[in-house]
Amino acid sequence: MARIATRRSPLARAQAALVADLVQAATPGLGVEFVLVETAGDLDRSRPIETLGERGVFSRGVQAALLDGRADIAVHSYKDLPTETLAGLRIAAIPVRADPRDALVSRSGQALADLSEGASVGTGSARRSAQVLAARPDLRVQPLRGNVGTRVGRVRAGQLDAAVLAVAGLERAGLAGDIAELLEPPEFLPAPAQGALAVEVRTDKPDVENLVKRIDDADSRAAVTAERAFLRDLRGGCNVAAGALATVDGAGLTLTVGLFGDGEAPPLTLHGRLSDADALGRQAAARVLAAREQATQ
């Protein structure tokens, strides 16, 4: 029996179910049960994520279930995990990544360029806010928190003209039909590791780790490694207004990154080998930080 810890939100539970299916397919006959956890981010839905202070507001509670023995496996939206590794835990698998892009959900079905002047667009992300306003400075960006269904519901109810959400979240929540427009890179860069799931285990449980490793996808791991190395070396944590997207082509890796809002740096694209994913991300961060410093001089 494998006990899988996850947040209580419908999306988190759907993601945990995806991982459970993969693990059971890789290990026939394995039973699973879910350990549902409320995190600090779930308990405070009124304030913007950036103002909550503590890193890992959507992950620490789930990780605690691993560390105290309530669960054997934890499933996270990888983009919600702090870049600092928590002692005693390890990411044993990154399954095949879903679509990493952002999408616009609009009440009228209009694309971003077609929204009326002054239309309201909801998002809880500084990165998304900055990219929306770069494309359409006439729009009004409004704070938006809550689970995926709640955010889409506010658009459907006319409380907002549109909202920006992750394609992967909409698809996993069964709400892909609400997508009005896919926001394409490099003009709209997603959060580092967006669309990827992180399956975490305790380092002192090698039997569990070996079981989970069977669902790891090498290409997804390389892409996410580069993106998160970029974020880590920015030293801003998972709430910094940074975007990154790595794509794999054979043994090669292409990484496009950007920093938005205050201290904005233009998009930058680098190429490297899959085996150099971490170094490529660190190189990207160094170049972005150097460009930002030069711009402020």
Burial 217-233, CB ≥16 within 10 A → b, else e:
bebbbbbbbbbbbbbbb
Return phi, psi of residue 22, to 5°. Answer: -65, -45
Residue entry with tokens 């759907």: 14
The residue from 72, 80, 102, 178 that is catalytic is 80
Instruction: Mention every residue, 6+ apart, whose C-beta is less than 8 A from residue 133.
Output: 139, 141
The answer to whether 80 is a known catalytic residue is yes
Q: Indicate the DSSP class of residue 237.
A: -
Q: Indicate the DSSP class of residue 96.
A: P
- Which H helix or E strand runs over 6? strand 2-7
- Rounded to whole angstroms, how far apart are CA atoms 292 and 144? 29
Q: Which residues participate in catalysis according to the annotation?
A: 80
